[in-house]
A = this chain, B = another copy of it.
Amino acid sequence: MHKEYLQQAIALASENVTSGHGGPYGAIIVKDSQLIAASGNKVTCTLDPTAHAEIVAIRLACIKLNDFQLHNCILYTSCEPCPMCLGAIYWARLAKVYYACSRFDAAAANFDDSFIYDEILVPPSERSIPMHHLNLANALQPFNIWTEKSDKVVY
Protein backbone atom coordinates (compact mmCIF):
# COMPACT_ATOMS: atom_id res chain seq x y z
CA MET A 1 0.00 0.00 0.00
CA HIS A 2 2.87 2.34 0.84
CA LYS A 3 4.35 1.65 -2.59
CA GLU A 4 1.06 2.49 -4.28
CA TYR A 5 0.82 5.86 -2.56
CA LEU A 6 4.45 6.54 -3.41
CA GLN A 7 3.70 5.71 -7.05
CA GLN A 8 0.98 8.39 -6.93
CA ALA A 9 3.56 10.91 -5.69
CA ILE A 10 5.95 9.95 -8.50
CA ALA A 11 3.18 10.23 -11.11
CA LEU A 12 2.33 13.68 -9.73
CA ALA A 13 6.01 14.70 -9.98
CA SER A 14 6.27 13.60 -13.61
CA GLU A 15 3.00 15.29 -14.54
CA ASN A 16 4.16 18.48 -12.78
CA VAL A 17 7.06 18.74 -15.23
CA THR A 18 5.23 17.75 -18.40
CA SER A 19 2.41 20.21 -17.62
CA GLY A 20 4.97 23.01 -17.09
CA HIS A 21 3.82 23.72 -13.53
CA GLY A 22 7.24 23.36 -11.94
CA GLY A 23 9.97 21.09 -10.65
CA PRO A 24 10.07 17.26 -10.71
CA TYR A 25 8.56 16.67 -7.29
CA GLY A 26 5.24 15.41 -5.99
CA ALA A 27 3.88 14.75 -2.51
CA ILE A 28 0.68 13.38 -1.06
CA ILE A 29 -0.61 13.17 2.51
CA VAL A 30 -2.74 10.28 3.72
CA LYS A 31 -4.68 9.91 6.97
CA ASP A 32 -6.57 6.74 7.96
CA SER A 33 -6.05 5.41 4.41
CA GLN A 34 -7.68 8.52 2.91
CA LEU A 35 -5.87 10.91 0.60
CA ILE A 36 -6.23 14.37 2.14
CA ALA A 37 -3.76 16.50 0.15
CA ALA A 38 -1.59 16.29 -2.96
CA SER A 39 0.69 18.72 -4.76
CA GLY A 40 3.50 19.06 -7.21
CA ASN A 41 6.28 21.62 -6.78
CA LYS A 42 4.89 25.13 -7.32
CA VAL A 43 7.97 27.36 -6.90
CA THR A 44 8.06 28.93 -10.33
CA CYS A 45 4.35 29.00 -11.12
CA THR A 46 3.50 30.78 -7.83
CA LEU A 47 6.78 32.74 -7.45
CA ASP A 48 7.23 31.19 -4.00
CA PRO A 49 10.61 29.55 -3.27
CA THR A 50 9.04 27.75 -0.30
CA ALA A 51 6.38 26.07 -2.44
CA HIS A 52 8.02 22.64 -2.57
CA ALA A 53 5.57 19.78 -3.09
CA GLU A 54 5.81 18.69 0.57
CA ILE A 55 5.26 22.22 1.93
CA VAL A 56 2.25 22.85 -0.30
CA ALA A 57 0.78 19.43 0.59
CA ILE A 58 1.25 20.18 4.31
CA ARG A 59 -0.48 23.56 3.93
CA LEU A 60 -3.37 22.00 2.02
CA ALA A 61 -3.75 19.19 4.57
CA CYS A 62 -3.84 21.73 7.43
CA ILE A 63 -6.58 23.68 5.66
CA LYS A 64 -8.53 20.46 5.11
CA LEU A 65 -8.17 19.29 8.72
CA ASN A 66 -8.51 22.83 10.12
CA ASP A 67 -5.46 22.31 12.31
CA PHE A 68 -1.82 23.44 12.40
CA GLN A 69 -0.66 19.93 13.22
CA LEU A 70 -1.00 16.72 11.20
CA HIS A 71 -0.95 13.97 13.80
CA ASN A 72 -1.42 10.43 12.40
CA CYS A 73 -0.82 11.61 8.85
CA ILE A 74 1.70 10.00 6.49
CA LEU A 75 3.61 11.92 3.84
CA TYR A 76 4.60 10.21 0.59
CA THR A 77 7.08 12.19 -1.46
CA SER A 78 8.82 11.46 -4.75
CA CYS A 79 12.18 12.54 -3.28
CA GLU A 80 13.87 12.70 0.13
CA PRO A 81 12.72 15.93 1.78
CA CYS A 82 15.22 18.82 1.68
CA PRO A 83 16.10 20.47 5.02
CA MET A 84 13.27 23.00 4.56
CA CYS A 85 10.70 20.25 4.05
CA LEU A 86 12.23 18.09 6.79
CA GLY A 87 11.78 20.99 9.21
CA ALA A 88 8.19 21.49 8.06
CA ILE A 89 7.49 17.78 8.62
CA TYR A 90 8.63 18.11 12.24
CA TRP A 91 6.68 21.33 12.87
CA ALA A 92 3.55 19.73 11.36
CA ARG A 93 4.14 16.62 13.52
CA LEU A 94 3.44 14.08 10.80
CA ALA A 95 3.60 10.42 11.82
CA LYS A 96 6.05 9.22 9.18
CA VAL A 97 7.40 9.71 5.68
CA TYR A 98 8.05 7.48 2.68
CA TYR A 99 10.25 8.71 -0.17
CA ALA A 100 11.52 7.37 -3.49
CA CYS A 101 14.58 9.29 -4.74
CA SER A 102 17.43 10.48 -2.52
CA ARG A 103 19.09 13.88 -2.05
CA PHE A 104 21.89 12.57 -4.27
CA ASP A 105 19.47 11.80 -7.12
CA ALA A 106 18.25 15.41 -6.75
CA ALA A 107 21.85 16.69 -6.83
CA ALA A 108 22.45 14.79 -10.08
CA ALA A 109 19.54 16.79 -11.57
CA ASN A 110 21.20 20.05 -10.36
CA PHE A 111 19.06 20.65 -7.28
CA ASP A 112 20.66 21.98 -4.07
CA ASP A 113 19.13 19.56 -1.52
CA SER A 114 22.37 17.76 -0.72
CA PHE A 115 24.36 21.03 -0.73
CA ILE A 116 21.99 22.56 1.83
CA TYR A 117 22.31 19.48 4.05
CA ASP A 118 26.09 19.96 3.92
CA GLU A 119 25.82 23.69 4.70
CA ILE A 120 24.00 22.94 7.98
CA LEU A 121 27.23 21.43 9.31
CA VAL A 122 29.25 24.55 8.44
CA PRO A 123 29.58 27.22 11.20
CA PRO A 124 26.86 29.82 10.46
CA SER A 125 29.15 32.74 9.66
CA GLU A 126 31.22 30.62 7.23
CA ARG A 127 28.30 29.36 5.13
CA SER A 128 27.89 30.32 1.47
CA ILE A 129 25.00 32.44 2.77
CA PRO A 130 26.69 33.87 5.88
CA MET A 131 24.53 33.90 9.02
CA HIS A 132 25.84 36.32 11.62
CA HIS A 133 24.92 36.25 15.29
CA LEU A 134 24.77 39.77 16.77
CA ASN A 135 24.69 40.21 20.53
CA LEU A 136 21.87 42.50 21.59
CA ALA A 137 21.01 43.16 25.22
CA ASN A 138 17.26 42.67 24.69
CA ALA A 139 17.48 39.63 22.39
CA LEU A 140 15.60 37.39 24.83
CA GLN A 141 12.71 39.80 25.38
CA PRO A 142 10.30 38.01 22.96
CA PHE A 143 10.96 34.62 24.61
CA ASN A 144 10.53 36.15 28.08
CA ILE A 145 7.17 37.67 27.12
CA TRP A 146 6.15 34.33 25.60
CA THR A 147 7.12 32.33 28.68
CA GLU A 148 5.15 34.65 30.94
CA LYS A 149 2.05 34.79 28.72
CA SER A 150 -0.71 32.67 30.29
CA ASP A 151 -3.18 32.54 27.38
CA LYS A 152 -0.79 31.61 24.58
CA VAL A 153 -1.52 28.99 21.92
CA VAL A 154 1.42 26.58 22.13
CA TYR A 155 2.51 24.98 18.85
Residues of B within 8 A of A98 (CB): 131-134
Per the bound structure, the CA–CA distance linking A58 and B47 in Å amounts to 11
Per the bound structure, the CA–CA distance linking A119 and B26 in Å amounts to 23
- In this complex, how many residues of chain A approach chain B with their Cβ under 8 Å: the count is 92
Is there a chain B Cβ closer than 8 Å to A100's Cβ? Answer: yes
- Asked whether, in the complex, the Cβ of A49 is within 8 Å of the Cβ of B88, the reply is yes
- Asked whether, in the complex, the Cβ of B50 is within 8 Å of the Cβ of A143, the reply is no
| Secondary structure class of chain A's binding surface, majority of residues | mixed
A69-B49, A96-B131, A139-B101 known; A84-B80 Cβ under 8 A: no
Per the bound structure, the CA–CA distance linking A136 and B105 in Å amounts to 13
Is there a chain B Cβ closer than 8 Å to A36's Cβ? Answer: no
- Asked whether, in the complex, the Cβ of B16 is within 8 Å of the Cβ of A97, the reply is no
> Closest residue to A128 on the B side, CB-wise?
B90
Q: How near does chain B come to A27, taking the closest CB pair, in angstroms?
A: 12
Is there a chain B Cβ closer than 8 Å to A138's Cβ? Answer: yes
Indicate with 1 or 0, residue by residue over A86-97, a CB within 8 angstroms of chain B CB atoms. Answer: 111111111111
Residues of B within 8 A of A24 (CB): 142-143, 145-146
| Interface members, chain A 34-53 (any B CB < 8 Å) | 43-44, 47-50, 52
- Extra pairs beyond A10-B141, A117-B120 (14, CB < 8 Å): A7-B138, A16-B142, A43-B155, A44-B68, A50-B92, A79-B142, A90-B116, A90-B119, A95-B129, A98-B132, A100-B134, A101-B143, A106-B143, A109-B146
